């Protein structure tokens, strides 16, 4: 029988905000007294209190808490001890940032949107295509508007090899009870990375924008018969690695196209995100088509569903 572990962490305001966003769709319906939320992360229950105390309880509490311990170290600027593995990882990160490399990188969009699919993409960027991408401002992908993305991505996909997987709302809703969001993301990242790696492009690194500790990521894909394991996990990888930035833009482009298709089908423009405007539109769609329609167009485990059906 697996041993239950409890880990307590004191977090800063910045980390609290990041945790609130991160666990938004994993929250439990009931919140303990003085807590901001309680969420289920795999086999671990995560409780964040108003005081800034975060409690991780479960058989994999160490895995779930590792990411937030490192995040808090970054946010608070506290000193950390380093070992040989830390040093090697830092050296790799410096190479990623400073050298012109061949890389495969992956990124996803749609995980925070109530409407629309989750889109995951892996891209291959060769050294000779770096200047082409820099001219298109791909390095500043977070600063690009949706209109700019719709304009430049068709130029990117003509030249940059990529693989994309679209997880529809129907399939998402069939699976979220057995797979939490991070599990789904890990499985989908592994899928597109494997398919692109199979093309035998010469690469120096495979990079993922880190959304959880590597141990947790590899635990999620352990049942997959085809695994990509030579991965460098980087925080803010989109800013450091052009293949990740490319994947972010391509995923966003495809997501926007899918949202446009859904909007035309329903005769109403579907808003992005998970805000009150989303609730308002969803209520009108339930009135028009019935609540079963949400299975086709929305992520039912978001807290929005409860508010909409009330």
Q: What is the pLDDT of residues 16-42, one digit of tens each?
A: 988 888 888 788 888 999 999 999 876
Average pLDDT for the chain: 87
Q: Are 170 and 294 in contact (CB under 8 A)?
A: no
CA distances to 21, 168, 299 from 281, rounded to whole Å, are 22, 19, 14
**Higher-scoring residue by pLDDT: 235, 300:** 300
**Higher-scoring residue by pLDDT: 119, 231:** 119
Give which of 15, 149, 4, 125 is closest to 76, Cα–Cα.
15
pLDDT score for 174 = 93
pLDDT score for 2 = 55
Q: Are 163 and 120 in contact (CB under 8 A)?
A: no
Strand partners, 46: 39, 56
Give yes or no for residue 96 having a pLDDT over 80.
no
Strand partners, 105: 123, 207
Sequence-distant (≥ 6) Cβ neighbours of residue 231 within 8 angstroms: 193, 206, 207, 208, 214, 217
Q: Are 149 and 187 in contact (CB under 8 A)?
A: no
Strand partners, 233: 208
**Confidence band of 80 (pLDDT split at 50, 70, 90):** very low
Give yes or no for residue 3 having a pLDDT over 80.
no
Whole-structure pTM over 0.85, yes or no?
no
Give yes or no for residue 253 having a pLDDT over 50.
yes
Give yes or no for residue 76 having a pLDDT over 60.
yes
Extents of the domains making up the chain: 5-76, 86-260
CA 264 from chain centre, in angstroms, equals 27
| Domain covering 5-76, topology | TATA-Binding Protein (3.30.310)
Q: Thinking of the domain 86-260, which architecture would CATH place it in?
A: 2-Layer Sandwich (3.30)
**Higher-scoring residue by pLDDT: 155, 30:** 155
């Amino acid at each position: 029988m697996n041993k239950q572990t409890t880990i307590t962490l004191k977090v800063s305001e910045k980390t609290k905000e990041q945790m609130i966003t991160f666990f938004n769709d994993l929250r439990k319906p009931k919140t303990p007294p003085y807590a901001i939320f309680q969420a289920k992360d795999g086999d671990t229950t995560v409780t964040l209190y108003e005081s800034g105390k975060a409690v991780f309880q479960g058989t994999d509490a160490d895995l779930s808490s590792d990411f937030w311990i490192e995040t808090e170290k970054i946010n608070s600027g506290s000193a950390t001890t380093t070992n040989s593995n830390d040093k090697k990882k830092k050296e790799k990160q410096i190479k990623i940032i400073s050298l012109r490399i061949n890389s495969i990188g992956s990124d996803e969009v749609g995980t925070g949107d109530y409407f629309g699919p989750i889109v995951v993409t892996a891209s291959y960027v060769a050294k000779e295509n770096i200047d082409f991408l820099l001219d298109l401002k791909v390095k500043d992908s977070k600063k690009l508007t949706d209109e700019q993305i719709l304009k430049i991505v068709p130029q990117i996909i003509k030249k940059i090899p990529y693989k994309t997987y679209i997880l529809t709302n129907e399939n998402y809703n069939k699976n979220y009870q057995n797979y939490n969001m991070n599990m789904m993301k890990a499985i989908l990242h592994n899928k597109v990375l494997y398919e692109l790696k199979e093309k035998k492009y010469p690469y120096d690194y495979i990079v993922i924008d880190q959304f959880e500790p590597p141990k947790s990521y590899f635990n999620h894909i352990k049942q997959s018969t085809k695994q990509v394991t030579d991965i460098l996990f980087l925080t803010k990888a989109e800013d450091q690695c052009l293949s990740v930035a490319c994947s972010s833009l391509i995923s966003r482009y495809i997501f926007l196209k899918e949202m446009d298709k859904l909007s035309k089908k329903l005769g109403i423009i579907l808003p992005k995100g998970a805000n009150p405007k989303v609730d308002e539109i969803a209520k009108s769609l339930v009135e028009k088509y019935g609540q079963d329609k949400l299975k086709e167009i929305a992520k039912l485990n978001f807290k929005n569903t409860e508010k909409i059906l009330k």
